[in-house]
């Protein structure tokens, strides 16, 4: 099932990536599926020495023994499957800040992929929500970890310096979350949406126009001169007067 989901549903997520590090990836079952489905990706699994010792490798698939709190190899993409729900916010923030620095040093090209549980009581079925809350209780009793709502995930990402995230419910109880560095205004809109205070589309358009500065006139001419965009006419004209 996981193999089918990765190939059929995650093509646009993994296709085109060059290198991927599966942090805390255990025996690498997920990374092996990714490396086989997308041979162009060089996958590395990072986990403790006793976990990865003597496991078979391939041309585009290898293991590195290490502690994720001490060292994570450089890559285009960092994958964390069911890692963060076992960590408190303080430890999670430390790891994400380091990944943010790594991506920034690579010209802001790259992203973090998290496969984990997202509590969504408004959209999930009642039984599913109860199960997620039960897991949260178990984690709180046995570790510093926790299950998080979307707003809690968003706060963690933005506190670490990331500016964009996308959540895709795809693995049963688990979701695939992509986080990256994008434009500041978009990050603000995403954060406000996560805390249920979304920015209206007209306000997004207005801020976009204001940010264009001298290029606003060029946009105005282009949009008013093409019939499909005439509905933006009043907005563009208003923006050009400010």
Domain ranges of the chain: 2-194, 201-240
* Confidence band, pLDDT 50/70/90 cuts, at residue 202: low
2-194 has CATH 3.40.50.150 classification: yes
* Percent of the chain residues past pLDDT 70, beyond the cut: 73
Euclidean distance between CA atoms 29 and 99, whole angstroms: 23
Cα 169 vs. chain centroid, distance in angstroms? Answer: 12
CB atoms within 10 A of CB 25: 25
Q: Is the pLDDT of residue 239 over 80?
A: no
Residue 10, phi then psi, degrees to nearest 5: -115, 15
Residue 203 belongs to what H/E stretch? helix 201-212
Q: Is the pLDDT of residue 132 over 60?
A: yes
Euclidean distance between CA atoms 113 and 89, whole angstroms: 17
The mean pLDDT of the chain is 80
Active site residue ranges: 85
* Model pTM score: 0.73
Q: What is the mean pLDDT of residues 47-69?
A: 95
Q: Does 233 or 110 have the greater pLDDT score? A: 110
pLDDT tens-digit readout, 220-238: 554 454 444 444 444 444 4
């Amino acid at each position: 099932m996981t193999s089918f989901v990765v190939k059929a549903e995650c093509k646009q997520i993994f296709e085109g990536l060059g290198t991927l590090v599966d942090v805390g990836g255990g025996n690498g079952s997920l990374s092996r599926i990714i490396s086989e489905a997308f041979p162009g990706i060089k996958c590395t699994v990072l986990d403790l020495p006793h976990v990865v010792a003597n496991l078979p490798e391939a041309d585009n698939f290898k293991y590195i023994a290490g502690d994720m709190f001490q060292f994570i190899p450089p890559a285009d993409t960092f994958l964390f499957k069911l890692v963060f729900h076992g960590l408190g916010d303080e430890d999670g923030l430390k790891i994400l800040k380091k990944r943010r620095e790594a991506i920034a040093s690579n010209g802001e090209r790259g992203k973090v992929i998290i496969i984990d549980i997202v509590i969504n009581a408004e959209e999930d079925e009642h039984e599913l929500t109860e199960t997620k809350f039960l897991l949260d209780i178990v984690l709180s009793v046995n570790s510093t970890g926790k299950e998080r709502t979307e707003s809690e995930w968003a706060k963690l990402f933005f506190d670490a310096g990331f500016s964009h995230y996308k959540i895709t419910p795809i693995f049963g109880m688990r979701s695939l979350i992509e986080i990256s560095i994008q434009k500041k205004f978009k990050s603000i809109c995403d954060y406000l949406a996560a805390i249920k205070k979304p920015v209206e589309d007209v306000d997004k358009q207005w801020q976009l126009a204001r940010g264009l500065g001298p290029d606003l006139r060029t946009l105005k001419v282009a949009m008013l001169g093409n019939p499909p965009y005439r509905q933006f006419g009043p907005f563009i004209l208003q923006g050009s007067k400010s």
